[in-house]
Amino acid sequence: MDNSLPLLAIDQRIIELEAQISASRLAKRWGLAWITLGNILLIGAVVAGNMLIDFSKPGNGRSTLNTIGTILTVLSILISVTFWIVARSSEREETVQLLQSQAERRSLEVITEPQTAASQPFQEYYRSIPDLRDEYRKSAERYRGRHNLFQLTVIIGSILTSVSTTAAAEQGIWSWIAVGLSALVSISAGVIAYFKFRERSLNLQQTADSIDQEMQAYSLRIRRYRNLAPEEASSTFAEELERIREEQRKKELQLEQPPEAVPQQRPQPL
């Protein structure tokens, strides 16, 4: 019985679910940013309007500004929280479907693979690979989220620092706000440069993608596994997975080194 077609259908479903999960996670991150930074900026705009606008002029009423600002803030909070809850629910449902599809795929692979005493240790090893891949992806997403948070802090903080510096000429308190925002921007930039969240996320995502590609190639018996005996294909797969993991460990150690410790290539004399 040829099970290649069911495997391909499950693989296609897994790829689609992973794309949907990535989109839901992106929407959830944007919703969280909207809940925090977006609403804070909206409240800050209302406060700045109360402090900077001259309400003594005809047609300018503080009550009108505060009423409109309050309505917009409440609507923004309700919509952003609802958006985040919907995105989180979609991510959870798609994650459950993905886990079910992966379990179905593994069970189908067990049926297609001949179970011998020699192959049982490898089957146990192979079943642990998806968990390893998912752990790399989760770590990559955590580092990506931290990088985006600090990067948004730098961008928005820089803009607010310029605004506060300009407003300091009118109100003395804005000079202290500008100092605080400037310190926050400097701290965030220093954290980004020291911990290298973006580089760590990129390395982990590349490792997870490499593991996923290797699993697909081994399951479909393509590329390096074409025309190989089952025992030889299993051995080649295990060696390739260990090579990928070793490269990831080397990348992590390289990121831990200070810039002056990284060896620089010197130009060779002609």
What is the tens place of the pLDDT at every residue in 156-210?
Answer: 888 778 777 776 666 666 677 778 878 888 888 998 998 999 999 999 999 999 9
| Per-residue pLDDT at 66 | 81
**Alpha-carbon separation of residue 225 from 153, 185, 207, 218 (angstroms):** 47, 51, 20, 6
Q: What is the pLDDT of residue 209?
A: 92
Q: What are phi and psi of 182, to 5 degrees?
A: -60, -40
What does the alpha-carbon distance between residue 187 and residue 183 come to, in Å, rounded to a whole number? 6
Segments making up each domain of the chain, as ranges: 1-112, 121-256
Q: What is the pLDDT of residue 8?
A: 75
User: Does position 96 have pLDDT exceeding 70, yes or no?
Assistant: yes
102-106, 122-126, 217-221, 260-264: least confident range: 260-264
The residue ranges of DSSP E strands in the chain, in sequence order, are: none
Cβ atoms 186, 153 nearer than 8 A: no
Whole-model pTM: value is 0.64
Residue type, 224: R
> What confidence tier does 240 reach under pLDDT thresholds 50, 70, 90?
very high
